[in-house]
């Protein structure tokens, strides 16, 4: 029983220490992951705006949506880069639209299109009928409590609670063994 209590108490102590490390990383300003993600989202948004302006202008000029080859020809004229319109997929058939996008933005109108961009871990979309995208541009949306400081403080409180429980689980010293 003592070994089990030491194992549980020790594991909880390690967990508390790890939570403190995560909290410090979250609170200190060198954690730039969210800033980098939002900066990338803004670059993708610029490319979505340019691509949708092309498609909307094409519709105005030609009375129809551009075809995939016509869109690709336009995209090839855009600057190269990680978040370039060159990497977008141009979807024009509503049967191609993911159900979660239709659920989020509503039923597409006739002649709607969807721009799709693979971000490396997930897809981002621009839905023409809603004139909106799935991009998260607010840094607060990346934190459970809305800010790195609030999340870090919550992790510190959790670490303290786990450390207190770990101390309670740890077996008391054996007083029956006397030192000589």
Is the Cβ–Cβ distance between 162 and 12 less than 8 Å?
yes
167: left (phi over 0), alpha (psi -120 to 50) or beta: alpha
Please list the ranges in the chain whose pLDDT falls under 70: 29-32, 175-180
pTM of the full structure = 0.71
For residue 81, the SS3 value is: coil
What percentage of the chain's residues is helix, strand, coil (to nearest 5)? 55, 10, 35
Query: How much is the pLDDT for 132?
Result: 96
């Amino acid at each position: 029983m003592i070994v089990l209590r030491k194992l549980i108490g020790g594991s909880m102590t390690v967990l508390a220490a790890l939570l403190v490390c995560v909290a410090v990383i979250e609170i200190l300003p060198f954690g730039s992951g969210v800033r980098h993600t939002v900066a990338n989202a803004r670059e993708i948004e610029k490319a979505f705006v340019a691509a949708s302006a092309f498609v909307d202008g094409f519709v105005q000029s030609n009375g129809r949506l551009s075809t995939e080859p016509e869109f690709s020809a336009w995209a090839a004229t855009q600057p190269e880069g990680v978040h370039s319109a060159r990497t977008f997929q141009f979807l024009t058939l509503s049967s191609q639209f993911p159900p979660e996008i239709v659920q989020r933005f509503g039923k597409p109108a006739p002649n709607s299109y969807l721009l799709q961009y693979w971000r490396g871990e997930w897809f981002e979309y621009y839905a023409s009928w809603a004139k909106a995208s799935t991009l998260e541009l607010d840094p607060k949306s990346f934190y459970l409590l809305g800010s790195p400081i609030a999340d870090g403080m919550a992790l510190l409180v959790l670490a303290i609670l786990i450390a207190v429980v770990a101390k309670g689980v740890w077996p008391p010293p054996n007083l029956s063994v006397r030192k000589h």
